[in-house]
Amino acid sequence: MFVEDLKLNAFNKMIGPFLPTERIYVLYLLSALVLAVLTYMLARDDHEEYGPKEQRSLLWFFKYMFSSKIYKGETFKQDVIYFFVNAVLFYGIILQFLFTVHEFSNFAFTGVVSIFGENQQPLVTSFTHLAIFTIISVLIMDLCVFTIHYLQHRIPILWNFHQVHHSADQLSPMTLFRLHPIDLILMSLTVSLVTGAAIGVLFYLTGEEPQQVSILGINIVVFLFYIGGYNLRHSHIWLSYPQWLSKILISPAQHQIHHSRDPKHYDKNMGLIFAFWDGLLNTLYVPKGFEKLRFGINDAQPNPFRSVTQMYLLPFSWSWKQIKPALNSAPRIGIIVASVAMIGFGYSWFYQNYKGTKPGFNLEHVALLNMNWFEVQAALDNGYDTIIIPTAGTEQNGPFVPLGKHHMVVTKTSQMIARSLGNALIAPVIDYVPEGEISPKPTIHMPWPGTISVPDPVFEGVLIAAAASMKQHGFKHIYFLGDSGGNQPAQNKVAKQLSAIWRAEGVEVANITDYYAANGQFDHLLKQGYSKQDIGGHAGIRDTSEMLFIAPEMVKFRNWQLPKGKDAGFDGNAGKASAKIGADMVQLKVNAALAQIKSLREKFAQRVLASK
């Protein structure tokens, strides 16, 4: 698995121009090219860099933009070789041993739950949470990048490694990748830690996996940043923003100034996207007009590295010379050795207790629909041996609640259950279930428009095929989670049949009956003072409250005009429903399911031990 991940990660980095998540994606390069031409057309009369006005033309500008001085120069050659070596060394190997956003988010969520207990009431709606995380994730990432970047310029040992990036005396989009692995490790761990903590806390507050508004699979703000001339940052094409905007966003020109070897530009404009971090620490430099720049470390030695090998090794040599004087005394050596040992022990303990995965594992979602097969395989290899197969239904739910109630509820509850179990994934929800006879005389829910029903044998066949698919892939615990009463008989029947057949292979199949039939919802509401008539059965207080909790925008309290002779399709007093009751109802279902699953696992473990 390690070798396969190495090949895959390295290969993905090398084909960056074809991946929207990579900053040298062809669309971002093309947008930079278009902006460069527009910039030239608008500002060519203002830059002495462009030579005598009578010599200027678009053809001349293309020659200037793709100057042989840059793209045939030694620095560009170093950048290209360094890019391919780092694709294997850092992205292929080192990155596999670093904690990921997913792992830090799980740790944060577990920590918050252990301190405050389970969250019974989400604090924000799904839409609000989408908007919040879209913005927060960008701000967090940008602040982390700025903070590490600031420290790299302020701490001598860190600067030893960071100056590899600044040693480029000619800038091109490939200079982006001229970063020492130590730089990349610090940046990766910091962004993963803080972003993961935010995701864990937000998941606790909302009860949903944090999502963000995205284009081509990346945050919309980051996408706009990339397409807005990102690749001109490492170039000699001057694109500056108005003074007021340059105090909010870092322009390509401002980042070029950051690479300038002019002393007045040292340690300026260290932000990635936003400029206000620099403004707060007085490191912001806003140019008043075009400035002719020379790049590199300093005038005496713009690029101290004569080879790619030196780019990797010299920073270690310089750092050792700085550290060595502190190692002259035995007590200091003892302190350093003890500190290194403690850090190593702490990392090992954290890795074993909270990472819970092999190197390279990065699971961002628990729903199969949101994963690719590489992620599913990685989950299986890392102990995710449980699959939840949710079943819902498309049925009438009276005048206030939508036909997809069961789908929305079981999507939510299965997420909560899987997250609590810690080693479970979720199959797609099965929405085609028995809802009554279709013809000649429709029964149960079929008399109401919109309901979809399938015969029991068809539903059983789908369950068998779904479970067999999961078994084939390697899941050992297969649980049916039905949110509708009509689903239960078939699920019980199939679970018993398959368990009897597959038990010898170490696979269990179970219908989590307590989730639906023994969740304590009715008794809970009775204790709250609600009458049996108010509680009702179908689409009453319980169902309506669950929807008010999960998707309040879908509940429509209106004075619907009921067709003559038609039953409204619900009972109970839905008007007494509330999101608070819904949170309780959902949690009771989840608790009942978790308790039953825990019992099933204990019995399964006992059978395994007995068989040995």
Distances (CA, A) of 340 to 39, 45, 335, 345, 515: 52, 59, 9, 9, 49
High-pLDDT (> 70) share of the chain, %: 87
Distances (CA, A) of 15 to 10, 69, 175, 470: 9, 26, 16, 32
Contact 462, 429 (CB under 8 A): no
Report whether pLDDT(361) > 50: no
Q: What span, in angstroms and rounded, lies between the C-alpha atoms of 183 and 163? A: 10
Strand 477-482 and strand 508-511: the pairing is parallel
Report whether pLDDT(210) > 80: no
Report whether pLDDT(228) > 50: yes
Residue 364 confidence (pLDDT): 66
CB count within 10 Å of CB 53 equals 8
Residue 575 confidence (pLDDT): 87
Least confident of 16-25, 61-70, 91-100, 347-356: 347-356
Domain ranges across the chain: 2-239, 368-611
Helix 308-323 × helix 74-86 angle, to 10°: 80
**Average pLDDT estimate for 205-223:** 82
The residue among 275 and 20 whose pLDDT is bigger is 275
Say how far residue 597 (Cα) sits from the centre of its chain. Answer: 28
**According to the CATH classification, is domain 368-611 in 3.40.50.10310?**
yes
Report whether pLDDT(283) > 90: yes
218, 220, 198: which is closest to 209 by C-alpha?
A: 198
List, for residues 270-282, the tens digit of each pLDDT value: 999 999 999 999 9
The per-residue DSSP string of 493-520 comes to: HHHHHHHHHHGGGT-EEEE-THHHHSS-
Contact 372, 514 (CB under 8 A): no
Q: How confident is the model at residue 178 (pLDDT cuts 50, 70, 90)?
A: very high
Contact 435, 391 (CB under 8 A): no
Residue 363 confidence (pLDDT): 56
The per-residue DSSP string of 183-212 comes to: HHHHHHHHHHHHHHHHHHHHHHHHSS----
Helix 101-116 × helix 181-206 angle, to 10°: 40
The residue among 136 and 357 whose pLDDT is bigger is 136
Residue 360 confidence (pLDDT): 37
256 residue type, one letter: Q
Residue 494 confidence (pLDDT): 96
Contact 314, 304 (CB under 8 A): yes
Report DSSP state, residue 120: -
Sheet of 477-482, strand order: 424-426, 386-391, 477-482, 508-511
Strand 424-426 and strand 386-391: the pairing is parallel
22 residue type, one letter: E
Contacts of residue 69, defined as CB under 8 A and 6 or more positions apart, other chains included, come to 170
The answer to whether the bond into 287 is cis (omega within 30° of 0) is: no
Report DSSP state, residue 98: S
Residues in the chain: 612
C-alpha gyration radius of the chain: 30
The residue among 59 and 403 whose pLDDT is bigger is 403
Contact 535, 378 (CB under 8 A): no
Q: What span, in angstroms and rounded, lies between the C-alpha atoms of 494 and 457? A: 10
Contact 200, 106 (CB under 8 A): yes
Coil, helix or strand for 479?
A: strand
Report whether pLDDT(20) > 80: yes
Residue 355 confidence (pLDDT): 41
Say how far residue 350 (Cα) sits from the centre of its chain. Answer: 21
Say how far residue 249 (Cα) sits from the centre of its chain. Answer: 24
Q: What span, in angstroms and rounded, lies between the C-alpha atoms of 149 and 153? A: 7
List, for residues 305-315, the tens digit of each pLDDT value: 999 999 999 99
Torsion of CA 208, 210, 213, 216, to 10 degrees: -110
Least confident of 50-64, 104-118, 507-521, 546-560: 50-64
Q: What span, in angstroms and rounded, lies between the C-alpha atoms of 432 and 3? A: 42
451, 360, 280: which is closest to 6 by C-alpha?
A: 360
Distances (CA, A) of 83 to 95, 177, 205, 382, 457: 15, 6, 41, 30, 57
Least confident of 65-79, 88-102, 163-177, 446-460: 88-102
Q: What span, in angstroms and rounded, lies between the C-alpha atoms of 143 and 228? A: 20
Mean residue pLDDT of the chain comes to: 86
Q: Which two tokens stand for residue 602?
A: 């204990």
Report whether pLDDT(348) > 80: no
Q: What span, in angstroms and rounded, lies between the C-alpha atoms of 159 and 152? A: 5
Q: Which two tokens stand for residue 460?
A: 């059983």
Least confident of 143-147, 198-202, 299-303, 495-499: 198-202
Q: How confident is the model at residue 504 (pLDDT cuts 50, 70, 90)?
A: confident
Strand 424-426 and strand 218-219: the pairing is unpaired
Report whether pLDDT(353) > 50: no
Report whether pLDDT(163) > 80: yes
Report DSSP state, residue 394: B
Q: What span, in angstroms and rounded, lies between the C-alpha atoms of 264 and 257? A: 10
Residue 362 confidence (pLDDT): 43
Residue 453 confidence (pLDDT): 95
Least confident of 213-217, 286-290, 315-319, 367-371: 213-217
CB count within 10 Å of CB 540 equals 24
pTM for the model: 0.61
Task: Locate all alpha helices (DSSP H) within 44-73, ordered by sequence.
Answer: 58-65, 68-71
**Average pLDDT estimate for 464-476:** 96
Q: What span, in angstroms and rounded, lies between the C-alpha atoms of 395 and 406? A: 8
Give buried/exposed letters for 204-224 (b at 16+ CB in 10 A, else e).
Answer: bbbbbbbebeeeeebbebbbe
